[in-house]
Amino acid sequence: MRPLARTQSGLRAATHAPLLDANEIAALALQAAWLNEAGRRREVHDHHAGDWSSGWLGRGLDFEESRPYAAGDDIRDMDWRTTARTGRAYLKIYREERQPVLHLVVDRQAGMRFGTRRRLKVTQAARVATLLAFQAAGRNAAVGGTLWDTEDLALPPLHGRAGALALAGAAATACPPEADAAAAEPVHDLDRLAWLAAVLPRGAQVTLISDFAWLGTMHEPLLARLAERVDLLAVEILDPAEQALPDVGLARFHDMASGREAWIDTGRAAEREAQTRAFRSRQADVAARLARAGARHLVLGSAVDDLAPVLLAHA
């Protein structure tokens, strides 16, 4: 009885442990610094000056254009050079330089609490979110996020490292399997997308990290509305067993999202091939929906260890 009790206690401790520890978060922060430096080197060599606005904060106002002076305008903004040249009073118009905002959405629903190689899908999602948060903090962005869970958690944008640390801490919290997924609170993905489109500022960067098992026809209009307002990146997390079913003989499979169970003879090659075709069809469907909505799309395996080169190649 005692060995069994110790085993059960160990399993409970493991399932309720944080997804990422302090050392893993620190390592991801170092990767983010490398990612920023590599990105800057690539921009210097690949682009001409003036192609994009700087990622660093400047004076706060950039000159946009000159226009004729009108009664009531502040004379401190007079464009004296244009006024002298044309003989007519002109005013300088400035464009406000806004601090960039990154909003990270981390899906922690039942289907993400699954993994057969290295780590859970939700753990990989936490790693991606942490790396992107520290990368954005290194560029002086404000970092916020939303955790999709039984009870959603919204993190307001915070400037610099404070925002990255808050996001990393929230994404790394324990995420044990749900005992009864069928009885869990219903998913409100339509409301979630509508909330993002209504709350986030126009021009923000939004990264949605999920397996997109929930994505259907009804979500496309709201996803497209969101993509019209923000720069939307969809990071799809997949487990190797989802892509190719392993040969483990007759096995019982449990759908954590719906609670349904089924017996599948994985020893039969025809059965494994049928599952592979179904997976590829579903993945093509997700890719098509994201493309129609106007979102950029990155597919990432849950077993990938070195995230920085993958994200740099996709930047």
| Band of pLDDT at residue 7, cut at 50, 70 and 90 | very low
Nearest to 208 by CA among 139, 150, 294, 115: 294
pLDDT, tens only, 72-116: 777 888 888 888 888 899 888 765 556 789 999 999 998 899 888
Model pTM above 0.85:
no
- Rounded-to-integer distance, Cα 98 and Cα 72, Å: 26
Q: Which residue has the higher pLDDT, 258 or 267?
A: 267
Q: What would the mean pLDDT of 163-172 be, rounded to a whole number?
A: 96
End-to-end CA distance of the chain: give it in Å, rounded: 54
Q: Tell me, what's the pLDDT at 98?
A: 61
**CATH numeric code, 18-43+99-314:** 3.40.50.410
Taking phi first (over 0 means left), then psi (-120 to 50 degrees means alpha), and beta for anything else, what does residue 141 get?
A: beta
CA dihedral 73, 74, 75, 80 (to 10 degrees): -80
| Band of pLDDT at residue 157, cut at 50, 70 and 90 | very high
Domain assignments of the chain as residue spans, ordered by start: 18-43+99-314, 61-96
Whether residue 198 has pLDDT greater than 80: yes
Q: Tell me, what's the pLDDT at 252?
A: 73
Q: What would the mean pLDDT of 143-171 be, rounded to a whole number?
A: 95
What Å distances lie between residue 45 and 23, 34, 311, CA to CA?
34, 17, 19
Q: Supply φ then ψ for residue 208, to 5 degrees.
A: -105, 115
3-state secondary structure of 237: strand
Which of 125-129, 237-241, 286-290 is least confident? 237-241
| Band of pLDDT at residue 221, cut at 50, 70 and 90 | very high
Q: Tell me, what's the pLDDT at 67?
A: 85
Q: Tell me, what's the pLDDT at 52?
A: 44
Burial class (CB in 10 A: 0-12, 13-18, 19+), 146: buried
Q: Which residue has the higher pLDDT, 256 or 229?
A: 229
The residues with which 119 forms a beta bridge, in sequence order, are: 117
Q: Tell me, what's the pLDDT at 272?
A: 79
